[in-house]
Structure 1
Amino acid sequence: MAFEEAKERFRGSIAPVITPFNEDESIDFEKFKELINWQIASGSHGISVTGTSGEPSSMSIEERIQVMETACKTVNGRVPFIPGTGSTNHQETLRMTKAAQEMGADAAMVIVPYYNKPNQHALYQHFKQVADSVDIPIILYNIPGRTAVNLEAFTIARLAEDCPNIIGVKESNKDFEHVNKVLLKCGRNFNLYSGIEVLCYPMLAIGGAGHISATANVAPREVAEVYNRWDRGDVKSAQDLHYELMPLNDVLFRDTNPAPAKAALGMMGKIKPILRKPLDVPSLEIQNEIREVLLDYQLITEDVEI
């Protein structure tokens, strides 16, 4: 796929699907496939796995690749498939990104290495080598709250200029001035995705390509519809839905993602709400808050218990 064509195709709500586990913390692949099919049936414009919501740092490299392969086969070309292939380890990132290409992924999303705190030149070298190692599109993933370093706009622009297959960036960055500068420096045909729920609509307004929102795990149709309404020019209706989703967005981040989303999906009967250590389920207080919000959104009924 030509990279300019990919920019046009990879627009909308790309759902960052969680990884369901069994009681023994093994991966529940059947539930995983059910979640992906539900996402596509609900109107999500793309599927991503093994990103933050998928708990990749709690999985082995072999498990991550197996999850990616299962997702790729389940999606089966119905929508773009964009797995997360980044790691704090450079060689692991290369291995998983090459594996994504080999299995037929449409693109790879590569996170800023976490914990290491590389400088901007080091980040440039890391991402350039990853991009040069494959022929598929690359979407950078900037989440300074998790990585402790920000991928600066000038570094993103340098990468976009030097690597034709770097087509966009997921910005889980509350600094709205920064995300404006990304499009200013990279050009407005560079795909900017919001990874901050409250900024999904505002990023569309400045020229964003869509969003990769954890809330899509719980309300995929509504999160996709924010983009659909904006895309067809129904601005007031898109604004209305943006505000309607805010209570759900808020409660799904009352604890570390994806713990609240998994608790919600458990109440909805979609999965067992199990996380791998060091993560754990939200407190009973937060679970009660989640339950009340899900009731308000009519995603569960009164008889559902925590």
Structure 2
Amino acid sequence: MKKFHGTGVALVTPFNADGSVDYDGLRKLINYLIDGKVEYLVSLGTTGEASTLNKDEKKKIWEFTAEVNSGRLPLVAGIGGNDTAAIAEDVKNFKVAGYEAILSASPYYNKPAQEGIYQHYKAISEQSELPLLLYNVPGRTASNISAETTCRLAEDFKNIIGIKEASGNFDQFNQIMRDKPGDFLLISGDDPVALPMISLGAVGVISVIGNALPTQLSAMIRLCLEGRFAEAVPLHLELVGFTRLMFNEGNPAGVKAALEYLGICGDSLRLPLVKVSPGLKREIITATNKITAD
């Protein structure tokens, strides 16, 4: 699964001012990221505002993304939720050409026990024709996939190939690296901790800030994967402040403000998400200009 080493970008979904999907902006974004030398693209994860899109919109976005990408980079489709039967059916029926894996966030809101999380992914795994990446993001789901459950799933289902880990818990990262099968992928789900996670053995990041700064981020991640941490640290530290701005008023509002400044797409979102405040937008523009000018 070397194709999922390096920098993956969780694509934003550009919207027009009237709330419709901005396909011209999505085309520009995909080409911008490919030119920025990222390794793969994730369509309709959390950053893509998937929860505000209906099934027809999702299918059209997946198809459009594959068409524009035209085989240039590996593609991952985000399919998650808190109704196991519905997600398993969606995964079973996912027939969009050009995708090489599915990323599925753990169930949100209903807070299942670890056995429930295991059975949830078991049901999905049994229906999927594509490899699966688990996604642990307790800050959004209100439940954690424990290291024990992650490694149990990795051992029991060969099509579960890795996890996007966004718990921020380094003890958990250590346990996963110690106990996982050798070919199971640990991927950072948080931009600021990608560097230290790679030092533990993670294979890269699925990034938010990579939407705006693909060249800078992917260069830093490649240095880390080559073991050149002394060279990577200054780049990492420069990006940490930028990342903080991206999340000050929620994701993906911050990165969409940066993308608007860069001329890639607008900064519109679908409710309940709203644009960043004018003051934060000025800070984001200043930071984006500084990093891209260096």
The TM-score range, normalised by the shorter chain, is over 0.9
User: Are 1:68 and 2:62 counterparts?
Assistant: yes
Q: Determine which of 262, 272, 283 is the counterpart of 1:289.
A: 283
- The residue type paired with residue 154 of structure 2 is A
SS at match of 1:128: helix
Residues in 2 aligned to 1:100 and 1:183: alpha-carbon distance in whole angstroms: 31
SS at match of 1:193: strand
Per-residue deviation, 1:98? 3.0
Q: Determine which of 149, 152, 176 is the counterpart of 2:143.
A: 149
User: Does structure 2 conserve the Cα–Cα contact (< 8 Å) formed by 1:100 and 1:108?
Assistant: no
2:225 corresponding residue in structure 1: 231
Aligned residues: 294
User: Are 1:194 and 2:188 counterparts?
Assistant: yes
User: Are 1:86 and 2:80 counterparts?
Assistant: yes
Matches within 5 A, 1:61-140: 61-140=55-134
Per-residue deviation, 1:235? 2.3
Superposed CA RMSD in Å reads 1.6
More displaced stretch, 246-255 vs 161-170: 246-255
Residues in 2 aligned to 1:255 and 1:219: alpha-carbon distance in whole angstroms: 19
1:268 corresponding residue in structure 2: 262
SS at match of 1:125: helix
Q: Deviations over 1:39-83 (max 9, x none)?
A: 111101000011111001111122122211211222222111011
1:253 corresponding residue in structure 2: 247
User: Does structure 1 conserve the Cα–Cα contact (< 8 Å) formed by 2:203 and 2:225?
Assistant: no
SS at match of 2:174: helix
SS at match of 2:221: helix
Q: Determine which of 169, 179, 183 is the counterpart of 1:175.
A: 169
Q: Deviations over 1:263-290 (max 9, x none)?
A: 1111111111100000001112211221
**TM-score, normalised via structure 1 length:** 0.92
Q: Determine which of 190, 200, 205 is the counterpart of 1:211.
A: 205
1:18 corresponding residue in structure 2: 12
User: Does structure 2 conserve the Cα–Cα contact (< 8 Å) formed by 1:61 and 1:92?
Assistant: no
Residues in 2 aligned to 1:105 and 1:16: alpha-carbon distance in whole angstroms: 14
User: Are 1:30 and 2:24 counterparts?
Assistant: yes
**TM-score, normalised via structure 2 length:** 0.95
Residues in 2 aligned to 1:12 and 1:131: alpha-carbon distance in whole angstroms: 24
Q: Deviations over 1:83-110 (max 9, x none)?
A: 1111222233223323445434100000
User: Does structure 2 conserve the Cα–Cα contact (< 8 Å) formed by 1:229 and 1:235?
Assistant: yes
- Aligned identity (percent) is 33
Q: Determine which of 2, 5, 26 is the counterpart of 1:8.
A: 2
Q: 1:299 to 1:253 in 2, by over 3 A?
A: farther
- The residue type paired with residue 60 of structure 1 is N
User: Does structure 2 conserve the Cα–Cα contact (< 8 Å) formed by 1:13 and 1:46?
Assistant: yes
- The residue type paired with residue 79 of structure 1 is L
Residues in 1 aligned to 2:50 and 2:56: alpha-carbon distance in whole angstroms: 11
User: Does structure 1 conserve the Cα–Cα contact (< 8 Å) formed by 2:163 and 2:187?
Assistant: yes
Runs of 5+ consecutive residues of structure 1 not aligned to the other structure? 1-6, 301-306
More displaced stretch, 215-224 vs 97-106: 97-106
User: Does structure 2 conserve the Cα–Cα contact (< 8 Å) formed by 1:170 and 1:212?
Assistant: yes
Runs of 5+ consecutive residues of structure 2 not aligned to the other structure? none
Q: Deviations over 1:241-264 (max 9, x none)?
A: 111211111111111100101111
Residues in 1 aligned to 2:88 and 2:64: alpha-carbon distance in whole angstroms: 20
SS at match of 2:238: helix
Residues in 2 aligned to 1:262 and 1:200: alpha-carbon distance in whole angstroms: 21
User: Does structure 1 conserve the Cα–Cα contact (< 8 Å) formed by 2:3 and 2:40?
Assistant: no
